[in-house]
Amino acid sequence: MAENLDILNTAVSLLVRAALLAARFSGWARKRSLKRLASRDADAKAKEILFLKDRVYQLEMQACAESANVSNDER
């Protein structure tokens, strides 16, 4: 019984370590990504923002059209 308890304790310890390492890596990757984004040229950022806003608008219009088609089909 004590042997199973040791195995269980070790397994829990390893799971906690894995979670902490994953969280640390995630934070490191996010920090690195944010630093890279902050160091980019402001003009490139503005272009990307405009592109993304346009893409969001296109997707919103597509979703509205699809929902209108669904409501027309239900009639």
**Domain parsing of the chain, residue ranges:** 1-39, 41-75
* Residue 65 or 58, more confident: 58
Q: Which residues contact 37 (CB under 8 A, 6 or more apart)?
A: 45
pLDDT-derived band at 9 (thresholds 50, 70, 90) equals: very high
- End-to-end CA separation in angstroms for the chain: 67
Confidence of residue 8 (pLDDT cuts 50, 70, 90): very high
Q: What is the dihedral of CA 15, 19, 21, 23, to 10 degrees?
A: 180
Residue 73's pLDDT is what? Answer: 58
Look at residue 33 in the predicted model and tell me its pLDDT.
86
Q: Could you read off the pLDDT of 14-60 as tens digits, one per residue?
A: 999 999 999 999 989 999 988 887 787 788 888 888 889 999 999 99
